[in-house]
Amino acid sequence: MQRYHVPMRSFQDFTARIIGGDKLVRRLGRSVLRSPAAATLSHTDIWLREALVTGRRMRSHKVHKHKEILLNGQAELSLNVVLNTLRKLRLTKNGDAYFTLLNRLQSNQIRWISKKGSYIVDQTPVELYRELSHMLRATSSNSDDRADITCLANFTLTVLEKYSEILETRATLSPDLVFWQNCSIIVARTGSIHYLQHLLELAKGKLPISFAYIAFYLQTNQISHLSSVLRTAGLTDLQFLSKGLVLQSIDKFLSLGLDDDAEGALNILINQNSLDYSTVLRLNHLSERYGAFKMQLALNKVIKSQKADGSVPWKTFQKDLSFEHYIKLLGEAEVQPFGEQLPVDFLSTKLPTNAMSINQWCSLFQNSMPAENAWSSLKALHFNTVLSHVASHRSFSFVILLWHRLIMDRGCIEAFMDSHKLANHKGKNGFHILLHAAGRSSAAKLAGYELFCFMKTSNSCKLTEQDYANLMLSTLHGGDNKTVYIYLRHYILDFGKECLRLSEYGNHTWKMAASVESVINKLRSTGERPAEVENILKRVAAWHLDHHSANDFKIPDKILKDIFGDLYLDHLSPRRILSLEAKWRKQNESPVISSHHYSLVADWDSVERVRLTLDYMRSQKLDTRLR
């Protein structure tokens, strides 16, 4: 029978010399794979004995049975068993045992039996090279010592040289890209051009060269070169790029605000079909961390295409893009602000804060409007963002004029009414914005009351406690504060039942909203008749104490009329306000205090615009949604 002369396992010899030293080589070289005394077997001995191919194993693998298991002292080992053992040692991070086993395999008395049961003659199995590259990469990644990194890089280059020799002798064998990428990452950790050049000299083909450059540019933070390589390589070639390198590239791009490059790297993962749930979560975390809006849009599309249950949440971010651009991106992503909590308050920071005319704001609104076929929820978000931003910077009369123009000239009735359905703008949308502006105005007593009367009859937008606080504040300008009590009475009718806490001992406590409580305290301290406020609240509480056992103990308005006395007002009008102001001036014999000046003329201008706008909305037969 022909004898097999198997040369010394080259990479195992190098492993022994570099990892274990010359003494370990000599000691392990004297070891044998078979030990006569089972009691003295080490773990390595046991693993090797398990890998020995017996006659039964040979028959099961359909290998021709030799007369002897050992031919000229050559042990026959199952490659599959050895690989499984090495893999287990690597995954359990048992490095000492891993390299000890490799050193034992450096003996030249081994013949390998492949997974298919055939002999591997005159060379080290290429599968062992891949396994070793995994272990070397893990060892390199866990070390920050420069000497260790350099030593591992030198050893890796030597392994690559031996692997290249195998490729030259086996023309049908293609380069193992996983093995090559592992080696590239190890060598790239040196950050040395010299080592990179040596690595490139050993590269066989276009892909290994690209992978070497990608690993090196990632390690050395040469992001512009990294972007160039990824762009020129093409998705078809990069489908073999390791997922880890792609994720690292995305991280680098996002940290520098290179959203387009990050999206291109994301397409690599999509092309690889490697976007599992955990990867999506990781990428979403990176997108939120760096405020990568375009990445989140791309992820959202991927999830929708996969028909996932949840959607990728949005994240606020600061980038130098225009308001119009963001509205367009939201439209492309087909977001649904009605049912989705989107933290998009950042959009207001993209709007100008300098003084602009009404015409300029109308032009900005028109230029940034969503497409005609966009979701109605996005149109509502767009309208609400502009209106709320202007309301936070300009006067009440300016806000009313802009609202009037957008409704009547731009036909945005539906967008305005839909804004009340925005999921994360409750109480900060639509009519609530107008009332908030009224609360800061010195000319909104009548205009605020006009809006109040409309909202009282509306079914789509209910008055909140904050609305009542703003309406009360709108009446505190001018000499007479009596008009505040019309809102206090309605507040008690709407919220008194919920705000009054009654104890079993007959005590009562008012738990009003902080904004309302603040206005009440202001009346107590600066009002003309502060005792009247306390008297009203006590009498309302007393009535509730007497009627709390009734099925419906909401206090009737006729009872409130008696409690409020001469402070009871059933409506507001210009004539009544003028009468109250004149009466106050006569009693105080003093001109109106400038800091509390109330302008009826400016207020009436706003009233006329409010009435015209609301009448126009009714004429369009859309008022059914508000009634």
Domain boundaries, the chain: 1-124, 326-463+597-626
CA-nearest of 230, 579, 620, 121 to 414 is 620
pLDDT digit string, tens, across residues 266-287? 888 888 877 777 788 788 888 8
- DSSP assigned state of 369: P
Query: Contact 516/469 with Cβ under 8 angstroms?
Result: yes
| 10-29 residue pLDDT tens | 444 545 444 444 444 444 44
DSSP for 435-452 reads HHHHHT-SS-HHHHHHHH
List Cα–Cα distances, 352 to 88, 322, 323, 347, in angstroms: 61, 10, 10, 11
Which of 40-44, 440-444, 589-593 is predicted most confidently?
440-444
Question: For residues 610 and 480, which has the higher predicted lDDT (pLDDT)?
Answer: 610
Q: What are phi and psi of 42, to 5 degrees?
A: -85, 175
pLDDT in tens, 335-376: 777 766 666 777 888 898 888 999 999 999 999 999 888 888
User: If you average pLDDT over each of 307-321, 584-598, 611-625, which comes out highest?
Assistant: 611-625
Q: Which of 336, 346, 329 is nearest to 389 (CA)?
A: 346
- The DSSP H or E segment spanning 110 is strand 110-113
Coil, helix or strand for 120? strand
User: Pairing relation of β-strands 110-113 and 508-510?
Assistant: unpaired
Distance (Å, whole) CA 122 – CA 169 = 11
| Distance between CA atoms of residues 58 and 78, nearest Å | 10
